[in-house]
């Protein structure tokens, strides 16, 4: 049942490290855990159960999920989310919090791959939801079988594999019933307040009328193939036309070529990189931005907190727009660096100190390192731009390159 291509890509990226299974205790993730243990052996698999702490009984369910993993000989840990007072706890926010917790755990354990149990039914639901919301063709490509974890900067370098995207949900439950394996049912899956639950019911009704949901997954697969081709060429375009200079990127227009789709995809990745954004501008906006900033008449413009400056001689500089006084910075005014621990500053820089007493602070929109005079030592911390990492994060993990 596991998709062979996704498994091969996953293993090429993972190397000898274990794969971290995102285990909820539901039928899909329990089936994935069993299938991966059969494929790789229990020693090559570990599990993390995220307790969202949003309903009574969630801790008990998480404990049962951990026990089911341990019964297979798989090491498993529960990650309990802590919600700030008044925090948004909607499904999208819970999803982002879940991925951040999984990524933090994977990084702490020295792992580089998370496996999730999204199915063909999930894919069909996603395509239908996006179509109803007016998505472009890129959105209709649906869920990627192999990508980076969809959070930044927490997901940098961490692959997310979905090897069950071609398998129906009921097929996985039949697999578990044949093996007398129990699973949990999340009450949220029956709560029609959630859009996905309503779409799931609609798809079920359509199927009863003769519509085959796998038509939507086949559509997604065709569009995914096109998307992957464009992404591959956009990655090459960035390598040929973009020069990374700490907190800015210079675009060489003499090397800026390819179809509009390729150029827009590359520009979106560069814009997200220069500001450390989790999301890129929409593809509809990118077409206009790309046309404007590459025009011979362009002198300067701003969009999505990115400032474009014409340098003459066929070059355009991308840099982060200086924060206005009314805008809150994403990081504290000053952060004390813990020796031996990498600190992410403003989603744009990775800072590492070998000695105590060093601090990073904001000066305008620029990071500044200084040392508390009461501490001895002179070994200056390393300050590394994450712009190139953010560009790589926009595309699928490149299994042909050195692994992190």
CB 55 within 8 A of CB 191: no
Stretch 212-225: mean pLDDT, rounded? 95
What is the separation, in whole angstroms, between the first and last Cα of the chain?
A: 28
Average model confidence (pLDDT) across the chain: 92
Q: How far apart are CA 208 and CA 329, in angstroms?
A: 52
- pLDDT tens-digit profile of 234-288? 999 999 999 999 889 999 999 999 999 999 999 999 999 999 999 999 888 999 9
Stretch 387-396: mean pLDDT, rounded? 96
Stretch 37-60: mean pLDDT, rounded? 95
**Is the Cα dihedral 172, 178, 182, 187 positive or negative?**
positive
- pLDDT tens-digit profile of 310-349? 998 899 999 999 866 545 566 677 899 999 999 999 999 9
Distances in Å between the alpha carbon of 260 and those of 17, 210, 257, 263, 309? 39, 39, 9, 5, 21
pLDDT at 404 over 50: no
Q: Strand 382-385 relative to strand 366-371: parallel, antiparallel, unpaired?
A: unpaired
- Residue of 328 and 189 predicted with greater confidence: 189
Stretch 69-87: mean pLDDT, rounded? 92
pLDDT at 88 over 80: no
CB 35 within 8 A of CB 1: yes
Share of the chain above pLDDT 90, in %: 80
Read off the DSSP letter of residue 26: B
CB 320 within 8 A of CB 271: no
Band of residue 402 on the pLDDT scale cut at 50, 70, 90: very low
Share of the chain above pLDDT 70, in %: 97
Would you say the pTM of this structure is higher than 0.75?
yes
Residues contacting 111, CB < 8 A, separation 6+ = 17, 18, 19, 20, 46, 158
- Residue of 326 and 198 predicted with greater confidence: 198
Q: How far apart are CA 35 and CA 246, in angstroms?
A: 44
Q: Helix (H, G, I), strand (E, B), or coil: what is residue 220?
A: helix
Mind giving me the DSSP string for 75-88?
EEEEEE--PPTT--
Band of residue 398 on the pLDDT scale cut at 50, 70, 90: confident
Stretch 43-56: mean pLDDT, rounded? 94
Strand order in the sheet with 366-371: 334-336, 358-363, 366-371
CB 198 within 8 A of CB 119: no
Q: How far apart are CA 132 and CA 111, in angstroms?
A: 37
Band of residue 15 on the pLDDT scale cut at 50, 70, 90: very high
Stretch 95-109: mean pLDDT, rounded? 96
Mind giving me the DSSP string for 66-120?
HHHHHHTT-EEEEEE--PPTT---SHHHHHHHHHHHHHHHHHHTT--EEE----H
Q: How far apart are CA 71 and CA 23, in angstroms?
A: 14
Query: How many degrees, rounded to 5, is the angle at CA 224 between CA 218 and CA 227?
Result: 150
Q: Where does residue 312 fall: left (phi above 0), alpha (psi -120 to 50 degrees), or beta otherwise?
A: left
Q: How far apart are CA 303 and CA 149, in angstroms?
A: 26
Q: Helix (H, G, I), strand (E, B), or coil: what is residue 364?
A: coil
Residues contacting 185, CB < 8 A, separation 6+ = 26, 27
Q: What is the pLDDT of residue 323?
A: 67
> For 92-106, 362-376, 384-398, which range has the lowest pLDDT when averaged over its residues?
362-376
Strand order in the sheet with 315-320: 242-245, 248-252, 315-320, 306-312, 300-303
């Amino acid at each position: 049942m596991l998709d062979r291509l996704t498994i091969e890509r996953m293993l090429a990226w993972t190397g000898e490290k274990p794969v971290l299974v995102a285990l909820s205790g539901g039928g899909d993730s329990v089936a994935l855990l069993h299938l991966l243990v059969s494929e790789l052996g229990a020693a090559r698999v570990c599990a993390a159960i995220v307790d969202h702490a949003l309903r009574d009984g969630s801790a008990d369910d998480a404990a049962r999920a951990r026990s089911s993993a341990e019964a297979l000989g798989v090491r498993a840990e529960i990650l309990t989310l802590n919600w700030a007072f008044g925090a948004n706890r909607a499904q999208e926010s819970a999803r982002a919090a879940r991925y951040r917790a999984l990524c933090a755990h994977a990084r702490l354990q020295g792992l580089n791959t998370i496996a999730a149990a999204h199915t063909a039914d999930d894919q069909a639901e996603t395509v239908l939801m996006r179509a109803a919301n007016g998505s472009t063709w890129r959105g209709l490509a649906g869920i990627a079988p192999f990508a980076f974890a969809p959070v930044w900067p927490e997901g940098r370098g961490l692959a997310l594999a979905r090897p069950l995207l071609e398998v129906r949900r009921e097929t996985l439950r039949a697999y578990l019933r044949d093996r007398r394996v129990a699973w949990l049912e999340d009450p949220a899956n029956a709560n029609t307040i959630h859009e996905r639950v309503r779409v799931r019911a609609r798809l079920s009704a359509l199927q009863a009328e003769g519509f085959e949901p796998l038509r939507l997954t086949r559509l997604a697969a065709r569009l995914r193939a096109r998307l992957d081709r464009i992404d591959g060429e956009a990655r090459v375009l960035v390598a040929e036309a973009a020069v990374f200079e700490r907190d800015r990127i210079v675009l060489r227009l003499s090397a800026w070529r390819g179809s509009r789709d390729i150029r827009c995809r590359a520009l979106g990745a560069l814009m997200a990189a220069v500001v450390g954004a989790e999301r890129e501008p929409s593809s509809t906006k990118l077409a206009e931005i790309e046309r404007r900033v590459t025009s011979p008449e362009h002198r300067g413009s701003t969009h999505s907190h990115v400032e474009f400056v014409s340098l003459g001689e066929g070059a355009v500089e991308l840099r982060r727009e200086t924060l206005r006084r009314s805008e809150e910075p994403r990081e504290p005014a000053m952060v004390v660096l813990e020796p031996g621990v990498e600190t992410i500053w403003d989603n744009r820089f990775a800072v590492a100190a070998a000695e105590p007493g060093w601090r990073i602070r904001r000066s305008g929109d620029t990071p500044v390192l200084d040392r508390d005079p009461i501490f001895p030592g002179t070994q200056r911390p390393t300050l590394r731009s994450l712009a190139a990492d953010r560009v790589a994060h926009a595309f699928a993990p490149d299994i042909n390159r050195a692994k992190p």
